[in-house]
Amino acid sequence: RKEVEQDPGPFNVPEGATVAFNCTYSNSASQSFFWYRQDCRKEPKLLMSVYSSGNEDGRFTAQLNRASQYISLLIRDSKLSDSATYLCVVNVYGQNFVFGPGTRLSVLP
């Protein structure tokens, strides 16, 4: 089983749609969780950290369920500029970051 798994995608959605990404991780000792976005042929950029109580940043909402070892990202009112690959990233304290395979999103006009 892979350490971090994500929806295989791709997701093709119209502008304005709400889209949700799912991620599961296998290491129960994981302590930090993140969502990154990666545009084509570019480096990943941090979108948001994910906190236990859930957190929101504008149109983006992240949730963490430690018991189920599950992380989600919700994008509301999607924009064309949201088209990218979304990477779920997990870190065990003091160790390395593990990247999920990513889910590609295409927002269509």
Of the ranges 20-28, 35-43, 58-66, 72-80, which one interacts with other proteins (CB under 8 A)?
Answer: 35-43
In this chain, which of 55, 74, 98, 106 binds other proteins, going by CB under 8 A? 98
- Separation CA 74–CA 105 (nearest Å): 12
In this chain, which of 37, 44, 84, 107 binds other proteins, going by CB under 8 A? 44
23 is an interface residue for other proteins by CB under 8 A: no
Q: Which tokens in the block code for residue 106?
A: 């295409």
19 is an interface residue for other proteins by CB under 8 A: no
1 is an interface residue for other proteins by CB under 8 A: no
State the chain's maximal CA–CA distance in angstroms: 43
7 is an interface residue for other proteins by CB under 8 A: no
Q: Which is nearer to other proteins, 8 or 54 (CB)?
A: 8
CA dihedral 59→10→40→55, nearest 10 degrees, is: 30
- Separation CA 94–CA 58 (nearest Å): 30
